[in-house]
Amino acid sequence: MFATILAIALMSIIEGWKDEMVESIISNTTGHLQIQDVLYHDESSIDHALEYEEEVKQTVAKYGDDIKYTVPRIEGFCLGAKDIGTRGVFLTGILPEKENRMNDLSSRLIKGEMFSADDNYAVIAEGVATQLELSTGDTLVLIGQGFQGMTAAGKYKVGGILEFPLPEQNNTMVYLPLKEAQYFFAAPDRLNRLIMMMEDEREADRLAQQMQNDLDDDWYTVKTWEQLMPDKVAAFEARDAQVKVFVWVLYIVAGFGILGTVITMMHERLREFGILLSIGLKRTQLAIICMLETIFISFIGVITGVVVGFPVIYRLHKNPIPITDDDLKEAIIDFGLEPVFSFSAEPGIFIYQAVTIFLIAIIVGLYPVQKVFRLEMTDSASN
């Protein structure tokens, strides 16, 4: 029972961390799927912004039952300035209502207000505001390169200030309404990427393939978040390999713990076994009895472990444990994650761990079986 609870708790927190990281990537960066210009992934330039035309719109509408909503973005690096102060910024044109559905962007406002789709003022990150000594109501000058070599320049009032946990975002992000950003980059009706959030993320690969078949391969490509973030996928695979080693160490420890219990029980019952054999019970029958006892006890222990562990894990899943250590908390925030111990309550965790521990217990249960066949009557009598 305790082996099952421990295994479930370990895998729950490991999968909880992984789910949290994947959710952070999907909600803050890539979405589940993206439609891009065919050249954009290899060279992320505004010159390779896709034209958001009817072919794309019709393809997205065709799979409306699978797609929860879309998030259009146009973005690029440029120079932000106030007076004589300048710094590089990452300008992103967005539809605020779409971004709020994806990553709750407006909740990061610490001053001012978020623009609407028809406004023409900017919302900037707190680091940009600090370094350029900007506040709400001040004017931010932006200079960069627009579509196909056009000069991009504009002056925008700062209407709001956002605070991000990641320093990279907090020191570079500037947001404009989508139409205004398209005008700034001289790229009307163009997007760097059209992000799609799905109803069921498990269908992402299938949907990407179907949408790619409907679009012109010479102009558009559909990519999943795994294809967009291969380094993250590789990191997850390396982590999973490390976790498997750690988990098997746990299984070995659990197996020896169960074996110790079985050996103790076996030695306590040697006299009982000797009496049963002396009155005519066959060794095969006694071995079957021992095996059935092991199966029943293991089954009850595993089921009890799941029953006891599920409400605890589910409560921790709904109410993650806050991290109080300042150094660890800061390190977690730097990854863009909430500083808490997250737990996963996926049914597969409980089933897999229960079955694994049960099989280990059954393997250990072979010990009393072979002990029965090797038992000497004189040994059992002396015990």
Which residue would you say has higher pLDDT here, 302 or 339? 302
Partners of 81 in beta bridges: 86, 141
Confidence of residue 172 (pLDDT cuts 50, 70, 90): very high
85 neighbors 136 (Cβ within 8 angstroms): no
75 neighbors 91 (Cβ within 8 angstroms): yes
> What per-residue confidence (pLDDT) applies to 218?
86
> What per-residue confidence (pLDDT) applies to 75?
92
Question: What are the residue ranges of helices labelled H in the chain?
Answer: 2-25, 54-62, 96-103, 126-131, 167-170, 178-184, 204-214, 225-228, 230-268, 270-278, 283-318, 326-334, 347-364, 366-374, 377-382
C-alpha span between 353 and 229 (Å, rounded):
30
> What per-residue confidence (pLDDT) applies to 36?
92
- Tens of pLDDT along 72-120? 999 999 999 988 889 999 999 999 999 999 888 898 999 999 999 889 9
DSSP track, 91-134: EEEE-HHHHHHHH-GGGGEEEE----TT---EEEEHHHHHHTT-
- Tens of pLDDT along 318-328? 888 887 777 77
> What per-residue confidence (pLDDT) applies to 112?
92
Q: Residue range 246-258: average pLDDT?
A: 84
Which residue would you say has higher pLDDT here, 379 or 210? 210
Residue 16, pLDDT > 90, answer: no
The rounded mean pLDDT for the chain is 86
C-alpha span between 350 and 233 (Å, rounded):
24
Stated as kind and residue range, the H or E segment containing 316 is helix 283-318
The model's pTM is 0.74
Residue 381, pLDDT > 60, answer: no
Confidence of residue 335 (pLDDT cuts 50, 70, 90): low
> What per-residue confidence (pLDDT) applies to 83?
83
